[in-house]
Amino acid sequence: MRTLVTGASGFVGTHLVKRLLEQGRSVRVLLHKDVPEPAHFRAFEVERIIGDIRDAACVRQAVQGMDIVYHLAAVISIDENEPKDLLQQVNVEGTRHIAEACLAEGVKRLIHMSSIHALSCWPREQDIDETRALALDPRTHLAYDNSKARGEQAVLDAVSRGLDAVIVNPVGIFGPEDYQPSPTGEVLHQLLYRRLPGLVRSGFHWVDVRDVVDAAIAAEVRGETGQRYILTSEYVPITDIAAWVREWTGVSTPRFAAPMWLARMSAPFVMAWSRWRGNRPLFTRESMEILRNHQLLHATRARQVLGFSPRPIRTCIWDALHSIEQRGLFPKGHSMPKNTLYPAP
């Protein structure tokens, strides 16, 4: 199966390309013309198209001759100060370019990597499943959520005109081999190097990157056209993740967890402090809002249709930390236990 992957050099994309190559597939990737190819990706024997998802002609060229397309390219934003037009150009227009090119070129199936944030968080007190409305109202949803919703709508519009596409909606993604790292991977790095001033008394739904890739490949075969599948393993508080890092590495992670009201009030000061320290701001007004939303989730449809069976997040964090250590990125004097392959329950 001739397969195109956009966003291929990112966290999920790297795992997906590796898995597709292991299956013996012919893989083409669309890499951004202004972003140097990461060192970890250069060893992959794939056909490379250098361009921009925002360029419709470039996208059409990348899609030509492909049987299957995995669309992962996206801008993730948790900072209200980031330019909103980039979200529109990449997450909405870029996705529309992919959907239209797949339709025009007769691609057999498009697998669109959306996000749980594409679904409306309102009402907060009700369970969210795949029937939840999209976050299409910019007045009541975060800019990132709205952009992912409109991108998903572009895919569904093409489905209504004959495109065979399926959508997966993962939650927060952790896991090994997070080289760049992703925003979630950055959490582990900042915990290891004691760059977080504190924690917040909240959590989120998380999933392992390897389980996301398994589900996406299963969606290619078993997913129903025009349907979406929520991918979540479990809800875990931020304080639990910090405690695991402390338990397994000996790093003195923060113990104070601010209530949400205090965290939201102090977010601008923490952002300024992070930038002054040269760190990626993680605790922003938008990230605090994210931790309040999408709390009641389940992956029933993915389990039933895709055979989705995600691993526990405790195991996922264990493997992610081992991966960081193996790349020589642990703080001096700290290491993971050597006597077990995975954490005891």
Q: How far is CA 291 from CA 159, 200, 205, 222, in A?
A: 32, 9, 9, 32
The pLDDT value recorded for residue 3 is: 98
Chain-centroid distance of CA 291 in Å reads: 15
Opening angle at CA 130, ends 230 and 169, nearest 5: 30
Condensed to tens digits (0 to 9), the pLDDT of residues 28-59 reads 999 999 999 999 999 999 999 999 999 999 99
CB count within 10 Å of CB 76 equals 17
Answer for the pair 202, 237: CB distance below 8 angstroms, yes or no: yes
Name, in order, each residue with C-beta under 8 angstroms of 59's C-beta and a sequence gap of 6 or more. 30, 51, 53, 94, 97, 98, 101
CATH class, range 2-174+207-233: alpha beta
Dihedral, CA of residue 141, residue 143, residue 147 and residue 148, to nearest 10: -60
The pLDDT value recorded for residue 84 is: 86
For the four alpha carbons of 315, 317, 322 and 323, in that order, the dihedral sign comes to: positive
Which uninterrupted H or E stretch holds 315?
Answer: helix 313-326
The pLDDT value recorded for residue 83 is: 78
Condensed to tens digits (0 to 9), the pLDDT of residues 93-128 reads 999 999 999 999 999 999 999 999 999 999 999 999
Which uninterrupted H or E stretch holds 31?
Answer: strand 26-32
Whether residue 340 is predicted with pLDDT greater than 70 in this model: the reply is no
For the four alpha carbons of 30, 33, 35 and 39, in that order, the dihedral sign comes to: positive
Residue matched to tokens 């976050």: 135
Name, in order, each residue with C-beta under 8 angstroms of 183's C-beta and a sequence gap of 6 or more. 76, 78, 280, 282
Distance from C-alpha of 217 to C-alpha of 306, rounded to nearest angstrom: 9
Each domain of the chain, given as residue ranges in start order, spans: 2-174+207-233
Average pLDDT on 17-26 reads: 98
